[in-house]
């Protein structure tokens, strides 16, 4: 595809005009290169900001219908003209968005700031608008140097807890992840989007957030879910045929979305989802496979596990435990495992004594 074709497809996709084949082409293009993904994210963000500032344009079909009723005769012989009018409107929209992007894209590319929380570390930062952000181990947060002036948008890979500072309604706080855009409508929420996890997850402590993106792959449309206080939204990235056999280290792009969970969380158990920022590890019936991913990031180790142990479930909590061997000793006391540590590698095997 040439540049003009992909530009038209991008705008058709964002404005929900793309058919199934066009949607597939757009996804392939986005996934082909990180720069393509970043360009799409900025284009989508600009469109979302336009909708936020002018809710009346959210329903594109009604807008087009109103336009056609006033300007285009409804006789059959004019249907082709109507079709091309819609295409022209899409192109016009792209022109508007592109003008904004071209103006800022080159500056943004040179003015990005990145905050890293390396494996084994947790970082707390204060953004220029006063927002508090805790970054969990193995996470990174990107944002523009003009954050707080013209936008309050950040880009997250990994896990973070946000305590949003009050801001102007005309400058919404937005978190972009690889697959979803999260718009803050409240105050405090946790967001988990590690690239090697098989799911996206957000937990709202106070306020409300909206999660926007291709949530239901069957419709190939952008959609939105609102998550309210003490609710958890989890979206798995795995085909329906593998609904109960997903692998947490699966890094494939979203092809089929087979499970969306929205759960009410008891306030007394909220620390399972946000306790990490206080050096608290909470496992509530998690599999050893899931636990190993958390421990790898927390203690900066590589865990090699006997596959037969991956589905064993464990519950327990750990506060300010400085070394992984103490965690494993406690797990070992309740499960049939043994372990050895060589350098940075932890090997977990069956306990043959049980």
What is the structure's pLDDT at 47? 65
As a whole number of angstroms, the distance between CA 285 and CA 308 comes to 17
* 329 or 102, greater pLDDT: 329
Q: Are 335 and 312 contacting, i.e. CB atoms less than 8 angstroms apart? A: yes
Domains in the chain, ordered, with CATH? 3-110 (no CATH), 112-270 (2.60.120.1440), 279-350 (3.55.50.30)
pLDDT digits (tens, 9 = 90+) for 333-343: 889 899 999 99
Tell me the mean pLDDT in the region 5-16: 76
> What is the band of 251 on the pLDDT scale with cuts at 50, 70, 90?
very low
pLDDT higher than threshold 50 for residue 3? yes
Lowest mean pLDDT among 30-39, 180-189, 273-282: 30-39
How many contiguous H segments (helices) and E segments (strands) does the chain have?
A: 8, 18
As a whole number of angstroms, the distance between CA 305 and CA 349 comes to 6
Question: 3-state class of 266 per DSSP?
Answer: coil
pLDDT digits (tens, 9 = 90+) for 32-91: 776 777 677 767 766 655 544 444 434 444 444 443 444 444 444 445 555 555 555 555
- Tallying the residues shown for the chain, one arrives at 354
pLDDT digits (tens, 9 = 90+) for 95-146: 655 555 555 444 544 578 899 999 999 999 999 999 999 999 999 999 988 8
Using DSSP bridges, classify how beta strands 181-184 and 188-193 pair: parallel, antiparallel or unpaired.
Answer: unpaired
> What is the band of 20 on the pLDDT scale with cuts at 50, 70, 90?
confident
Tell me the mean pLDDT in the region 268-290: 90
Percent of the chain surpassing pLDDT 90: 40
pLDDT higher than threshold 90 for residue 297? yes
Residue indicated by tokens 């986005």 = 30
* Residues β-bridged to residue 212: 181, 224
* 283 or 252, greater pLDDT: 283
As a whole number of angstroms, the distance between CA 223 and CA 342 comes to 47
Would you give the DSSP letter of residue 249?
T
């Amino acid at each position: 595809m040439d540049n003009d074709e992909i530009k038209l497809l991008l705008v058709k996709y964002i404005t929900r005009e793309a058919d199934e084949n066009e949607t597939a082409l757009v996804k392939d293009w986005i996934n082909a290169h990180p720069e393509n993904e970043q360009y799409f994210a900025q284009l989508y963000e600009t469109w979302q900001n336009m909708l936020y500032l002018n809710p009346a344009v959210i329903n594109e079909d009604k807008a087009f219908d109103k336009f056609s009723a006033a300007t285009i005769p409804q006789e059959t012989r004019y249907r082709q003209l109507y079709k091309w009018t819609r295409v022209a409107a899409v192109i016009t929209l792209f022109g508007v968005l592109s003008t904004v992007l071209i103006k800022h894209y080159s500056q943004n590319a040179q003015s990005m700031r990145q905050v890293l929380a390396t494996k084994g570390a947790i970082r707390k930062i204060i953004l220029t608008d006063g927002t508090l952000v805790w970054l969990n181990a193995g996470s990174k947060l990107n944002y523009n140097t003009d954050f707080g002036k013209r936008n309050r948008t950040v880009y997250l890979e990994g896990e973070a807890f946000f305590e949003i500072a009050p801001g102007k309604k005309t400058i919404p706080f937005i978190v972009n992840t690889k697959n979803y855009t999260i718009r803050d409508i409240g105050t405090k929420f946790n967001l988990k989007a590690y690239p090697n996890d098989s799911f996206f997850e957000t937990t709202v402590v106070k306020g409300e957030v909206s999660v926007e993106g291709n949530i239901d792959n069957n419709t190939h449309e952008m959609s939105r879910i609102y998550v309210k206080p003490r609710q958890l939204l989890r979206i798995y990235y795995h085909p329906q045929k593998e609904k109960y056999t997903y692998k947490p280290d699966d890094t494939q792009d979203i092809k089929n979305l087979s499970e969306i969970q929205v759960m009410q969380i008891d306030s007394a158990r909220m620390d399972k989802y946000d306790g990490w920022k206080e050096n608290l590890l909470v496992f509530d019936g998690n599999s050893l496979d899931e636990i190993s991913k958390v421990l790898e990031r927390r203690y900066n180790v590589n865990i090699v596990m006997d596959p037969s142990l991956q589905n064993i479930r464990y519950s327990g909590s750990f506060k300010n435990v400085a070394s992984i061997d103490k965690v494993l000793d406690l797990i070992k006391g309740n499960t049939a495992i043994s372990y050895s540590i060589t350098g940075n590698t932890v090997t977990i095997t069956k306990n043959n004594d049980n």
